[in-house]
Amino acid sequence: MQRSLTQLFPLLYLTCLVVLLWQAFRVMGRGFRANSELQRPPITVHPELLDADGRITDEELLTVRFTGDNEPIDPGGADDHAS
């Protein structure tokens, strides 16, 4: 009886090891797939760019640009007035 348990224990141990390794690789695979899906940047569209049907509008849009102190000043450009 004891001899059969001694021979059965390594088989039971090996079976548990294989099952746990299989589960670990499944969990890691799901994590790698989820990580690769997160690396794709999501496409966001502002609601004001959509028409009534939910498609991107093709009408002309008014854009405004605010300049700050950190932008270089045009030395001989449009800001100078002729005297």
* Reported confidence tier of residue 26, pLDDT bands at 50, 70, 90: very high
Sign of CA dihedral 53, 56, 62, 64: positive
What's the pLDDT tens digit per position in 64-75? 777 776 666 666
pLDDT of residue 83: 44
The structure's pTM equals: 0.40
Contacts of 79 (CB under 8 A, 6+ apart): 73
Query: Token pair for residue 47?
Result: 């609601």
